[in-house]
């Protein structure tokens, strides 16, 4: 029993000695830890100062509730069998429709071309409105790459594709489940351009969707007008008349809205200069500081391990 206790004490003493050795190793390597920390934090500070502020502008839309289709009995099934929708709740909601267009490359390519968005970002003075920490943009200018104006068609196509991906990631379109309100937001380094982008997208996307829906409405009207011309019974003609009336109502509502199936509640506005969304420069520095200390301690132990291995050989 006494032998067992002495063995436990011996292990405890060895553990205490190990902890002291570890602490001593860290103290002896404090210069290395300090140098690593200084280098990493300095590089992180340069990186943080190089990043321009990012701003966000958003518009809030009020979607239309949409009237439900009348009870048409078996005629609803007749229309479905004919491949014709009579509306009333089956149409795509504005937020889903807008998001669908964001993922439509053909629409986005046309949107970029018609609004000269590529020319805006290719302009050598496109970053003149960028805002930096402490108002200092010298570091950004050092690392800024010079853009070439003479790009061939292959480069232009690749640039348009990259721009569509960037625009998609910068846009945010969401619907509040409680209020039903839809927010369309865009983020960019140029705080004067974000509101303009939201407005341009809403106008172009709404025009595209309304045109497409009016085309479908006209197709439905022609179908039911043909059916009504061929109908024999009074009840059938009355029901078909209700369908046509409903489609005409949908057509009027489609044209009456400021944007696709919704009206504007609050427009996108130029954000205040201090109201940036990113970068989180303080967070970057803190993370870099903690990481550099861990990296420095690891390097000290690694160098100490190599030194001990050489001494034992």
Q: Give the residue extent of every domain in the chain.
A: 2-49+280-312, 58-129+153-266
Mean local confidence (pLDDT), 251-263: 86
Distance from the Cα of residue 291 to its chain's centroid: 28
Rounded CA gap, 248 and 127, in Å? 49
The predicted model gives 105-127 an average pLDDT of 91
Gap between the Cα atoms of 213 and 94, Å rounded: 12
Q: How many of the other CB atoms lie within 10 Å of CB of 194? A: 24
Min mean pLDDT across 159-163, 230-234, 249-253 is at 230-234
Cβ within 8 Å of residue 2, ≥6 positions away: none
- Mean pLDDT across 156-167: 90
* Lowest-confidence pick of 16-30, 132-146, 202-216, 231-245: 16-30
Tens-place pLDDT, residues 5-37: 555 555 555 545 567 777 888 888 889 999 999
As a whole number of angstroms, the distance between CA 131 and CA 137 comes to: 8
Lowest mean pLDDT among 116-120, 128-132, 144-148, 240-244: 144-148
- The string of pLDDT tens digits covering residues 163-218 is 999 999 999 999 988 888 999 999 999 999 999 999 999 999 999 999 998 888 88
Evaluate if residue 82 carries a pLDDT over 70. no
- Per the listing, tokens 């010298």 go with 138
């Amino acid at each position: 029993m006494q032998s067992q206790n002495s063995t436990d004490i011996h292990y405890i003493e060895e553990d205490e000695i190990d902890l002291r050795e570890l602490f001593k190793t860290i103290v002896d390597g404090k210069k290395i830890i300090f140098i690593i920390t200084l280098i990493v934090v300095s590089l992180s500070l340069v990186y943080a100062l190089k990043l321009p502020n990012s701003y966000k502008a958003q518009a809030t839309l009020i979607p239309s509730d949409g009237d439900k289709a009348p009870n048409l009995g078996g005629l609803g099934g007749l229309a479905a069998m004919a491949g014709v929708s009579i509306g009333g709740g089956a149409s795509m909601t504005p937020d889903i429709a807008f998001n669908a267009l964001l993922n439509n490359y053909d629409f986005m390519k046309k949107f970029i071309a018609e609004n000269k968005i590529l020319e805006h970002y290719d302009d050598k003075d496109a970053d003149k409105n960028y805002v930096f920490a402490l108002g200092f943009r010298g570091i950004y200018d050092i690392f800024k790459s010079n853009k070439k104006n003479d790009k061939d068609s292959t480069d232009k196509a690749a640039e348009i594709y990259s721009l569509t991906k960037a625009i998609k990631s910068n846009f945010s379109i969401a619907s509040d489940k409680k209020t039903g309100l839809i927010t369309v937001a865009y983020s960019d380094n140029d705080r004067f351009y974000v509101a303009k982008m939201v407005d341009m997208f809403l106008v172009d996307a709404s025009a595209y969707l309304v045109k497409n829906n009016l085309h479908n409405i006209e197709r439905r009207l022609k179908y039911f007008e043909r059916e009504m011309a061929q109908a024999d019974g009074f009840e059938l003609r009355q029901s078909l008349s209700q369908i046509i009336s409903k489609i005409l109502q949908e057509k009027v509502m489609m044209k009456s809205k400021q944007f696709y199936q919704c009206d504007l509640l609050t427009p996108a506005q130029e954000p205040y200069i201090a109201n940036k969304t990113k970068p989180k420069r303080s967070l970057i520095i803190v993370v870099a500081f903690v990481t550099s200390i861990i990296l420095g301690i690891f390097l000290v132990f690694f160098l100490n391990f190599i030194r001990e291995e050489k001494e034992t050989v």
